[in-house]
Amino acid sequence: MSNLGILPATLIVIALILLGVIFDIIGVAFASCDQTPFIAMSAKKIKKATRALKLLKNAEVVSNICNDVIGDVCSIVSGAAGAAIVAKIMVSSPSVSEIVISILISSVTAACTVAGKALGKGFAMNKNVKIVETIGAFFALFERSPKTKPRKGGK
C-alpha cells in the first residue's frame, strides 16, 4: 500500500469491503437456506443442485468460513489498509490534521463495512435459494465428471 497512490489504495479498500460483504452474504444464505428445493433438483440429476446440496449439508462450516474467517479477515485488512491511506495522506500533506483524517477514513471504512453487511444479510435471507444455487453452479464447474466405462465388445 505504501507504494500505491491514494486512488489505487482506496480502490483496494473498497474491493476488500465488497469482498467481505459478498462472503457475509454467502454465509448468511447458507445458514438460512432450506435443503428441500435442492433435494428435488438433485433427484433430477442437476449437477449444480447436487453440489449445492453437499455444501448445504455442511452449512455450519460454510457459514463459519464465509462469515467468520473470510468476512472478518477482509474487515480487518480493510481497516489496516485505511490506516495506510491515512499515513500516505500525512506524508503527502503534512498540514492536514492527522486526527481528523484518521477519524474520517476509519469512520467511512467502518460505516461502509457495517452498512454493507447489514444490507447484505436481508438480501441473503430473501434470496438464499438463488445464492446457494449460484454457489453450487460455481463449484460444479470444477467438479470432474465420472469416467464412463467402455462397453463390452470392444466399443
Angstrom distances, CA of residue 80 to CA of 22, 69, 77, 105 = 19, 16, 5, 11
Q: What is the pLDDT of residues 1-45, one digit of tens each?
A: 667 888 898 999 999 999 999 999 999 999 999 999 999 998 998
In-domain check, residue 60 = yes
Domain coverage including residue 66 = 6-132
Number of domains in the chain: 1
Going by C-alpha positions, the residue among 20, 15, 14, 13 that lies closest to residue 118 is: 20
Q: Is 128 contained in some domain? A: yes
Given this model, what pLDDT does residue 152 score?
66
Q: Is residue 122 part of a domain?
A: yes
Asked whether residue 153 is assigned to any structural domain, the reply reads no
Residue 152 in any domain: the answer is: no
Residue 58 within a domain: yes
Residue 35, domain member (yes or no)? yes
